[in-house]
Amino acid sequence: MIAFRGLLCAACFAALGISVIASAGELPAVSGPNGKLSVEGGSFDDDGAGIALGSFALPLGHAFGLQADGALGTIDGETMGGGGLHLFTRDPSSHLFGVYGSYHTWDSVDIWRIAGEAELYLGRFTLDGLAGYESVDVPSTIGDLEVLTPDDKHFFAQSDLAYYITDDFKVYGGYRYLNETSFGSAGAEYLMRGHEVPLSLFARGDFGDEDYTSITGGLKVYLSGDPDKSLIDRHRRDDPDIYLPVFPKLVTRTAQRQPQCTLVGGGSYQVASPANGQCICPSGSALAGQPPVFGLGSYHCAV
């Protein structure tokens, strides 16, 4: 946790350094305070899922922006939640460069991330990418099951090439390397303008090299000072995308439960059974909750 915070602070200072050499465009990095809310449902690796996502972005001077993300939902009946933070510099006519940090949890699995993000704007094309370091912490047990999946720390990356068929209709395809698994990705979003609150329809899917399939779709509401702003302008002048990790499938086995030791009577801590000492010392003994020790030809629940 401390190391992660240190990495995040270092990344933030690196992003601040970008501003010294980056030239700001005529338009600000963020047009003004804005946000978005979305709900989606579908399947994550054959598990039913429903997720709500939200973000809020605001300008930091002319060349910088800050965005906070949030996520809450269920995957396979287990609660998933978390959030992320983006610090970036952007010229809406050409590019975005920034740093990103996040934390998400699901089914007692915790994933921390620190990464760099970038976007290049090439006419109606947008090339974007996220790459960095990911720490996956898994529990030792879940209920009566022993978790065999180890904790892991590894590189992750993803990139998409998007094309805006119209100012309000985006399609994209891309590649992901998440949780040490490769994925192909595709999606689309269509913004319906002319309403007091702009609403878009979207769908996306990821297809992995280990029979992983994720297909979801939903609705998104955009919140800003200009309800008639186009989709391409919202993506390039307001808020970056919200990222979610891929949680690993936990490999488990039935935990080996040790029986409680039976002690010789009369206040003795000597183990009467089992004779092999494969047990846990009972409460009230000097080694309560721990395995007995061997000495003088037998096992004892005393030091």
Dihedral over Cα of 107, 112, 115, 119: its sign = positive
What was the pLDDT predicted at 5?
43
What is the spatial distance between Cα 268 and Cα 299, in angstroms, rounded to a whole number?
Answer: 11
- Name the CATH code of domain 2-253 (choices 2.40.160.40, 3.40.50.300, 3.40.50.2300, 3.40.50.1000): 2.40.160.40
What was the pLDDT predicted at 15?
43
Q: Sort 221 into a burial class: Cβ within 10 Å, 0-12 / 13-18 / 19+.
A: middle
* 265: phi then psi, degrees, rounded to nearest 5: -70, 180
Quickly list DSSP for 72-115.
EEEETTEEEEEEEEEEEEEETTTEEEEEEEEEEEETTEEEEEEE
One digit per residue, pLDDT tens: the chain, 303 residues?
A: 434 444 444 444 444 444 444 444 489 999 999 999 999 999 887 788 999 999 999 999 999 999 999 999 998 888 999 999 999 999 999 999 999 999 999 988 999 999 999 999 999 999 999 999 999 998 877 766 777 778 889 999 999 999 999 999 999 999 999 888 888 999 999 999 877 889 999 999 988 776 778 899 999 999 988 889 999 999 999 989 999 998 887 776 655 667 888 888 777 888 988 888 888 888 878 888 788 898 888 898 887
Q: Tell the residue number behind the tokens 């609403």, with chain if given.
A: 199
What was the pLDDT predicted at 19?
42
Dihedral over Cα of 107, 109, 113, 119: its sign = negative
What was the pLDDT predicted at 26?
81
Query: Residue 247, Cβ neighbours under 10 Å: how many?
Result: 24
What was the pLDDT predicted at 144?
65
Domain with CATH 2.40.160.40 in the chain: 2-253
What was the pLDDT predicted at 204?
94
Contact 92, 71 (CB under 8 A): no
Please tell me the chain's helix, strand, coil percentages from 3-state DSSP, rounded to the nearest 5.
Answer: 10, 55, 35
Contact 147, 139 (CB under 8 A): yes
